[in-house]
Amino acid sequence: MILVTGGAGYIGSHTVRELRERGADVVVYDNLVTGHIEAVGDAPFVKGDIFDKKLLVETFAKYKVDAVVHFAAFSLVGESMTDPAKYYRNNVAGTLSLLDAMLEAGVKYLVFSSSAATYGDTGDGLITEESPQRPTSVYGQTKLMMEQFMSDYDKAYGMKYVALRYFNAAGAHRSGEIGEAHKPESHLIPIILQAALGQRSHIGIFGDDYPTRDGTCIRDYIHITDLADAHIRALDYLENGGKSTYYNLGNGNGFSVKEVIETARKVTGIDIPAKVEGRRPGDPATLVASSDKIKRELGWKPRYDTLEEIVASAWKWHSTHPHGFEK
Ligand code: UFG
């Protein structure tokens, strides 16, 4: 049995879907502060906080949990800079509470959602797992600290983990039933699509004076189902005796903000208005992953490998759920 913390959130709920479609037994554990109960569907659900060690230990025993996939975290880079206490408390102290509960209950396997934000500004080239980890945000710092705990817990207590460092998660489940719904929304593709739906007057481009081909920031967009697939492979790997490790997850192709807007215009057939605005503090110019390591070691391969497919998948969700999970 697999317990998924944050299983009502964007990446968590898609991973739960994918796990269940492949016949895995899953229990979702989420405090619903940012998650949506509607995204959980009919999966077994426990409403709880990762700080509630007693409830975690009881849940591990009740469901005979042998592995945890840990998504529960706050994840807004900008907010982490203005309210670091919230991020250190929830992401760092919360993860320690979860790890304590796992130790107490003897749960040995952990797949952990880490981030490209642990690298910070690395320059132009593809980022490999050996690129220096120097986060530029508190959010990235919390994810790096969590990776460090896991490494120490493996050495001392034999807890085995895989940390997955995601680049820019995007798109929605093929069923069209679940997708991205943050409040407030801060991510590029949903905001562009909100502008396409007329919910915003335009998409603001945060800076066009970066050292990139068109001056706007370059990111590596990776489909949510491809991310989900990597979690499943990581779980299989651990349960088959794999040793602790970490992987990047991206497509290996970078797209600029302007290129993403152009793709969205093509996919939606709508001439989405865009305006150049000032830079957003903390944004590195370019973040593109090398995912060779997970391809080589776990046989992972992104199935959505064009930006058109990724944006079309997001559009299917946003155009049919203009208010997310709200009726
Ligand atoms: N952007 C705009 N206008 C907007 C929103 C975003 O121009 O209205 C730009 C950003 O400046 C950035 C790019 O679009 O250059 C992508 O921005 P997102 O906010 O969609 O994503 P980020 O790259 O900032 O962040 C994502 C995840 C984080 C994670 C990070 C890792 O959302 O959780 O990748 O680098 F930490």
What is the CA(125)–ligand 1 centre distance, in A?
A: 19
Substitution site in 185, 222, 280, 307 for ligand 1 pocket (most atoms within 8 Å of beta carbon): 280
Of 134, 139, 133, 137, the C-alpha closest to 88 is 139
- For ligand 1, atom 10, name the residue with the nearest CA: 206
Angle between helix 224-239 and 10-21 (nearest 10): 60
Residues, the chain, total? 327
User: With pLDDT > 90 as the criterion, what percentage of the chain qualifies?
Assistant: 92
Reported as a pLDDT band with limits 50, 70 and 90, residue 197 is: very high
Half-sphere exposure of residue 152: CA atoms within 13 angstroms, side-chain side: 8
What pLDDT, on the 0 to 100 scale, is given for residue 96? 97
Substitution site in 34, 168, 214 for ligand 1 pocket (most atoms within 8 Å of beta carbon): 168
Tens digit of pLDDT for each residue in 213-265? Answer: 999 999 999 999 999 999 999 999 999 999 999 999 999 999 999 999 999 99
Do residues 2 and 228 make contact, with C-beta atoms less than 8 angstroms apart?
A: no
Tens digit of pLDDT for each residue in 125-156? Answer: 899 999 999 998 999 999 999 999 999 999 99
Q: Which member of 87, 139, 153, 304 is catalytic?
A: 139
Of 259, 272, 270, 267, the C-alpha closest to 311 is 267
Quickly list H helices, the chain.
10-21, 53-62, 77-82, 84-87, 94-105, 138-157, 188-196, 224-239, 257-268, 292-298, 307-320
Give the integer Cα–Cα distance in Å for 20 and 187.
27
Q: Is the CB of 266 inside a 6 Å radius of any atom of ligand 1?
A: no
Do residues 48 and 40 make contact, with C-beta atoms less than 8 angstroms apart?
A: no
Tens digit of pLDDT for each residue in 18-55? Answer: 999 999 999 999 999 999 999 999 999 999 999 999 99
For residue 206, what are the β-bridge partners? 277
Calculate mean pLDDT across residues 151-178: 96
Q: Report residue 215 as tokens.
A: 């001056």
Sheet containing 45-47, strands listed edge to edge, beginning at the edge strand earlier in sequence: 45-47, 26-30, 2-5, 67-70, 109-115, 160-166, 245-249
Of 292, 306, 316, 217, the C-alpha closest to 258 is 217
Q: Is the CB of 73 inside a 6 Å radius of any atom of ligand 1?
A: no
Q: Is the CB of 280 inside a 6 Å radius of any atom of ligand 1?
A: yes
Reported as a pLDDT band with limits 50, 70 and 90, residue 287 is: very high
Q: What is the dihedral of CA 55, 57, 60, 64, to 10 degrees?
A: -130
User: Is it the case that residue 182 has pLDDT exceeding 90?
Assistant: no
Atom of ligand 1 nearest to the CA of 140: 36
Q: Is the CB of 117 inside a 6 Å radius of any atom of ligand 1?
A: yes
Reported as a pLDDT band with limits 50, 70 and 90, residue 97 is: very high
What pLDDT, on the 0 to 100 scale, is given for residue 77? 87
Q: Which residue has the tokens 């900008």?
A: 78
Give the integer Cα–Cα distance in Å for 249 and 230.
8
What is the CA(187)–ligand 1 centre distance, in A?
A: 5
User: With pLDDT > 70 as the criterion, what percentage of the chain qualifies?
Assistant: 100
For residue 289, what are the β-bridge partners? 127
In sequence order, what are the residues at sequence separation of 6 or more whose Cβ sits closer than 8 angstroms to the Cβ of residue 205? 216, 257, 258, 261, 274, 275, 276, 277
What is the CA(265)–ligand 1 centre distance, in A?
A: 19
User: Is it the case that residue 327 has pLDDT exceeding 80?
Assistant: no
Tens digit of pLDDT for each residue in 57-79? Answer: 999 999 999 999 999 999 998 89
User: Is it the case that residue 124 has pLDDT exceeding 80?
Assistant: no
Q: Is the CB of 116 inside a 6 Å radius of any atom of ligand 1?
A: yes
At 112, is the secondary structure helix, strand, or coil? Answer: strand
- For ligand 1, atom 3, name the residue with the nearest CA: 205
Reported as a pLDDT band with limits 50, 70 and 90, residue 107 is: very high
Atom of ligand 1 nearest to the CA of 189: 20
At 198, is the secondary structure helix, strand, or coil? Answer: coil
Q: Is the CB of 182 inside a 6 Å radius of any atom of ligand 1?
A: no
Give the integer Cα–Cα distance in Å for 246 and 160.
11
User: Is it the case that residue 56 has pLDDT exceeding 80?
Assistant: yes
Q: Is the CB of 204 inside a 6 Å radius of any atom of ligand 1?
A: yes
Atom of ligand 1 nearest to the CA of 143: 36
Rounded mean pLDDT of the chain? 96
What pLDDT, on the 0 to 100 scale, is given for residue 163? 98
Q: Is 157 known to be catalytic?
A: no
Substitution site in 119, 121, 188, 194 for ligand 1 pocket (most atoms within 8 Å of beta carbon): 188
Do residues 232 and 22 make contact, with C-beta atoms less than 8 angstroms apart?
A: yes
Q: Is the CB of 206 inside a 6 Å radius of any atom of ligand 1?
A: yes
User: Is it the case that residue 282 has pLDDT exceeding 80?
Assistant: no
Instruction: Indicate the pTM of the whole model.
Output: 0.96
